[in-house]
A and B are shown apart, each in its own frame.
Chain A
């Protein structure tokens, strides 16, 4: 057990070396920068609004981050997995004295380091942006009433809501050798609820949104939206709710199934 933990830690460290200077690494920077920039532009454009409050900035940040988060995860994880397929590296790695499930879980943890970094950077850039805005227009700054707890909860909740996407996309990425297919599958699942919403709107059935609710309830790739837009009937913004346990349970199930699948896989 101790030996496996040691190997796990070494694989996580190796993964961080591997992903440096790949597109996956740049995505980890672009996603928080892009998200905060969009919200900041909107925030600045609202400067003359009389009912302006920093909660508005936080809620917007939560919504924008939740909207782009699935796209970021799908791309980031697919690219990170593709580094192994691109040069047939799996053959080399699996000929090393490393147990397959430990490698599978270690690589996943390594990718999660970068995703966590994106979360931290989103928070850092959000504070940075408010500080900068505060220098230009005092009322756009942090202020004494700034709700730090709400900002934390709203961002962490979005990342937790996406937990099933991490593991399902990782499984797809490790299973499928080319980059296009996992990205296409992931993107299709993200776009699905938006497409259905548009179709319902065109058909004039937007008020009868039961089918839409069903789609986002059963499609794990919609969970960040549903968490952000409160579609799953939660009344207040908390990190841990019944839905959180659903997200995490599904995520763990996909991770374990993926590890089992990887262990028995033939490497041609």
Chain B
């Protein structure tokens, strides 16, 4: 008999490849029961592939997946009955309205239709429930997908990029909703995202994946602790590629939208970096220093993993 575990999801040496391309490399994921678990990683790191293997959409070639203490390969239906999921982009029948979309899932899962109305109310879609989904905004579609995932009152909610494409208001609504679900229904939530600020606000535990390898797993507080005393320097330069080359191997840095972001220890280090850029013929238009949060820890871990 297996000892009772506090982890609702547990994978052991989970590996997966698309042909010769190795996408997941010996992942040992442990998602604590009752947590809101953030699954972070840059695009193409293997977040969606991990989620698809957890849901049995992709058959694992190596390793073991255990959910609710049972092996996925042998207890797939038992496990899926207790899971609500949302995989990648909103999957909905565009020509049908919200009520019909929920009805289809309710029929397939053998659930009572009386759950549909309160759920539409929870996700603030009751007013628009009669309109075809193709007329919905991205935020409304995401909320409807969440309602579909919640229909079975799951013990575990797996959400792949649930805040993708949402405006700030939509992101805030989604965050509040997930918090409420976790608290009121005692539902464990695993959500993947690359929007770090949101993960930082909502998640109690976190795992970071990079190039198919798990580089961090633990509580959010511990992760934030990794960045204590560090700061983020945001620099607007004329040649970001040249600036990035200068940083590589010396500082944790990334480029996004022509802005160079560097993690620094203190003021003198920030001054040193700016001076170095200017001395190497790079025009510095602006530079801003902020105290570091999850972003700095994330960059630090990613760069450490690349260097090793």
Contacts and interface: CB of A to CB of B under 8 A. Distances in A.
B130 to A, nearest CB: 13
A18 interface: yes
A87 B92 contact: yes
Given A10-B110, A14-B108, A267-B52, A89 B91 contact: yes
Interface string B54-74: 011111000000000000000
A98 interface: yes
A268 B48 CA distance: 9
Interface in B64-122: 76-78, 80-81, 83, 85-96, 100, 103-105, 107-110
Nearest to B59: A266
B104 A14 contact: yes
Contacts of B58: 266-268
Given A18-B96, A87-B92, A88-B88, A97 B109 contact: yes
A18 B57 CA distance: 22
Contacts of B87: 88, 91-92, 95
B80 A96 contact: yes
A92 B144 CA distance: 13
Nearest to B107: A14
A21 B95 contact: yes
Given A13-B107, A266-B59, A89 B80 contact: no
A11 B106 CA distance: 10
Contact of B107 (A10, A20, A266): A10
A266 B23 CA distance: 15
B103 to A, nearest CB: 6
Contacts of A10: 107-108, 110
A97 B93 contact: no
Interface in A188-209: none
Contacts of A89: 91-93
Contacts of B273: none
Nearest to B160: A91
B110 A92 contact: no
A141 to B, nearest CB: 41
A116 interface: no
Contacts of B83: 95
B3 to A, nearest CB: 26
B148 interface: yes
Nearest to A99: B77
B88 A17 contact: no
A87 B91 CA distance: 5
Given A10-B107, A95-B87, A99-B77, 16 more contacts: A7-B110, A10-B110, A11-B107, A14-B108, A17-B96, A17-B100, A21-B95, A22-B95, A87-B91, A88-B89, A88-B91, A91-B52, A96-B80, A98-B109, A264-B59, A268-B58
B56 A94 contact: yes
Interface residues of B, number: 33
Given A83-B93, A88-B89, A91-B57, A96 B110 contact: no
Contacts of A97: 76-78, 80-81, 109
B93 A95 contact: no
A93 B108 contact: yes
Contacts of B104: 14, 17-18
Contacts of B94: 86-87
Interface in A64-91: 83, 86-89, 91
A218 B93 CA distance: 38
A92 B95 contact: no
A22 B134 CA distance: 13
Interface string A97-129: 111000000000000000000000000000000
B110 to A, nearest CB: 6
24 contacts: A6-B110, A10-B108, A10-B110, A11-B108, A17-B96, A17-B100, A17-B107, A18-B93, A18-B96, A20-B96, A21-B95, A83-B95, A88-B87, A89-B92, A92-B87, A94-B57, A95-B85, A96-B105, A96-B109, A97-B81, A99-B77, A266-B58, A268-B52, A268-B58
A87 B89 CA distance: 8
A95 B55 contact: yes
B137 to A, nearest CB: 15
Contacts of A6: 110
Give 6 nearest A-B pairs by CB, closest first: A92-B91, A97-B80, A267-B57, A97-B81, A14-B107, A95-B55
Contact of B148 (A87, A88, A92, A268): A92
Interface string A128-167: 0000000000000000000000000000000000000000
Contacts of A20: 96
Contacts of A92: 85-87, 91, 105, 148
